[in-house]
Structure 1
Amino acid sequence: MRMWHVAAVGAALLYAGVNAAWAGCNERLDRYQAVVGDDHRTGNVNESVYVQIERELSRATAACTAGREAEALSLIHESEVRHGYHP
């Protein structure tokens, strides 16, 4: 196998791994944000709590985008527990 082919295959596998991690935490973020957003729109979450949750989730989004799925999922879980949304 030629060296460039090995490098291309390695890069593709790394990319796939990062994308898989991003997809897992991204789905969890989307689901939690949808629930919190609905609760905020219906008045079940006040503005200050909503802003706090969004701030917490921005850290989780950064971790997820960087491929740090475990950190992102931990941050999401902590926020869910803190605000009574734990499964």
Structure 2
Amino acid sequence: MTSAKLFVPIIAALCLAACNSAQPVAVAQAPVAATRNTTPVGFELPDGSGCSGAIRRYRAIMDNDLAMGHVTQGVYATIQNEIAAAASACAAGRDAQAVALVHASKARHGYPG
């Protein structure tokens, strides 16, 4: 066997070894599995007026969307923080500000106002 014929398998082995020693690629975590794929029969948005009604309705929509897999847990947590800020404003008697916070959150996340 000539030295050139020995050289090819050695290069091939080194290339394969280099490929196998590469750092693992980070894989994104799968979102939380949906518990259902449709809104439950008889689902109704909560009643109420003013900021408290707007907040209860938005929470119900988000809980339903999370259960159906329409939002990830991370987006859901972000929106829950935004709803909590609106609920704080509502509890402090700042109705207009609370409703504005709900509308801004809906707009930011693609929900109709």
Q: TM-score, normalised to structure 1's length?
A: 0.72
Q: Which runs of 4+ in 1 moved over 6 A?
A: none
C-alpha distance in 2 between matches for 1:68 and 1:28: 13
Aligned to 2:65, which of 39, 54, 60?
A: 39
C-alpha distance in 2 between matches for 1:71 and 1:78: 10
Q: Pick 1 or 2: higher relative contact order, CA cutoff 8 A, min separation 6.
A: 1
Question: Larger helix proportion, structure 1 or 2?
Answer: 1
1:29 pairs with 2:51: no
Deviations 1:46-83 (A, max 9, x none): 00000000001100000000100011011000000000
> Which structure 2 residue ranges, 5 or more long, are not aligned?
1-48
Aligned to 2:76, which of 47, 50, 57?
A: 50
SS at match of 2:100: helix
2:86 equivalent in structure 1: 60
C-alpha distance in 1 between matches for 2:71 and 2:110: 11
What code does the residue aligned with 2:98 have? A
C-alpha distance in 2 between matches for 1:56 and 1:76: 8
Shift of 1:41: 0.8
Q: TM-score, normalised to structure 2's length?
A: 0.56
- The sequence identity of aligned pairs, in percent, is 42
- Give the CA RMSD over aligned residues: 0.9
Q: Between Structure 1 and Structure 2, whose CA radius of gyration is higher?
A: 2
